[in-house]
Amino acid sequence: MALETHIDADGVAHVTLDRAQRHNAFDEALIAALAETFGALGVEPGVRAVVLSGKGKSFCAGADLDWMSRAAGYTQAQNREDAQRLSDMLAAINDCPKPVIAIVHGNVAGGGVGLAACADMVVAISGVQFRLSEVRLGLTPATISPFVMAKIGASAARRWFLTAEAFGADAARDMGLVHEVAADRDAADAVVAGWLAHLGAAAPGAVADAKALVQDFAGRDISLILRAETAARIAARRASDEGREGIGAFLGKRKPNWVKE
């Protein structure tokens, strides 16, 4: 098994990379498993959030050497198809309508940085080492670049893409790749528990729509069209079952029906 998945009683899906002997590096099987899993979890009604982590010494050390060796013998068309599958997997995580939380530790290289960039919230355990190492192999981080740049911005990308330097949790937090830094796994789990508590108090559909706001509107000019789109979205939310329930619960000084007693 390249991936371990279970859904707990609170509707939290725990997805764990399970190739510890390979530092959870990507191969064809892991990429396919991640794409399928996040696609399924995104439409599972009982799932409120997804927590992604990795077994062993590393969260994800990028590309598996055997996979890279096989890819070296591919035709250009085969290489493009292979890269597209990686892109599709990252998009399945990035576009998942459920909140995605990543716990990262150890080595996080190449595509592993891409995974972190696709998560909505990231907690890094002290001692983690990130590296966008592709140029040292004569490659570029092309497939992961849209997701990584959306998180860290062009200025940071112009440094880390080009130098392939290692950087730690504090630098990752400064550039927006990481949101919190924890001393150890127990402390990281406590951070995640806090986030999950906040998410549990929010309406699931509203959370999905709020995530879509960021993806759809970030970086766009504040034009008449954009303002009309945002007005239409809040109008739809106000008229929704969740919107009516939320306002009714607030005015009635009770908990809304999506909050567990």
What CATH number did the domain enclosing 62 receive? 3.90.226.10
Decide which of 199, 214, 242 is a domain's last residue.
199
Task: Quickly state the pLDDT bin for 120 (edges 50, 70, 90).
Answer: very high
- One-letter identity of residue 25: A
- Residue of 153, 132, 136 whose CA lies nearest to 144: 132
DSSP string for 3-45 = EEEEE-TTSEEEEEE--GGGTT-B-HHHHHHHHHHHHHHHT-T
Give the whole-number percent of the chain exceeding pLDDT 70.
Answer: 100
Whether residue 87 is predicted with pLDDT greater than 90 in this model: the reply is yes
Enter the tokens of residue 154.
Answer: 């062009």
Burial class (CB in 10 A: 0-12, 13-18, 19+), 18: middle
For the CA atoms of 36, 37, 38, 44, the dihedral, rounded to the nearest 10 degrees, stands at: 110
Are residues 194 and 221 both part of a single domain?
no
Are residues 20 and 116 both part of a single domain?
yes
Decide which of 178, 199, 220 is a domain's last residue.
199
Are residues 119 and 14 both part of a single domain?
yes
For residue 231, being part of any structural domain is answered with: yes
Summarize pLDDT for 126-161 with one digit per residue, the tens: 999 999 999 999 999 999 999 999 999 999 999 999
Whether residue 224 is predicted with pLDDT greater than 80 in this model: the reply is yes
Say which residues have a Cβ less than 8 Å from residue 132's Cβ, sequence separation at least 6.
Answer: 109, 110, 113, 141, 148, 160, 161, 164
pLDDT of residue 114: 98
In angstroms, rounded to a whole number, what is the distance separating the alpha carbons of residues 261 and 80? 50
Query: For the residues 189-199, what does the mean pLDDT come to?
Result: 98
Are residues 11 and 36 both part of a single domain?
yes
Lowest mean pLDDT among 10-24, 69-83, 99-113, 182-196: 69-83
Query: What's the total number of domains in the chain?
Result: 2
Are residues 225 and 194 both part of a single domain?
no
Whether residue 73 is predicted with pLDDT greater than 90 in this model: the reply is no
Over 49-102, what HEC string results?
A: EEEEEECCCCCECCECHHHHHHHHCCCHHHHHHHHHHHHHHHHHHHCCCCCEEE
pLDDT of residue 66: 81
Whether residue 12 is predicted with pLDDT greater than 80 in this model: the reply is yes
Are residues 54 and 155 both part of a single domain?
yes
Are residues 208 and 194 both part of a single domain?
no
Whether residue 196 is predicted with pLDDT greater than 80 in this model: the reply is yes
Say which residues have a Cβ less than 8 Å from residue 207's Cβ, sequence separation at least 6.
Answer: 98, 99, 199
Query: For the residues 65-93, what does the mean pLDDT come to?
Result: 88
Domain extent for 22: 3-199
Task: Quickly state the pLDDT bin for 79 (edges 50, 70, 90).
Answer: confident
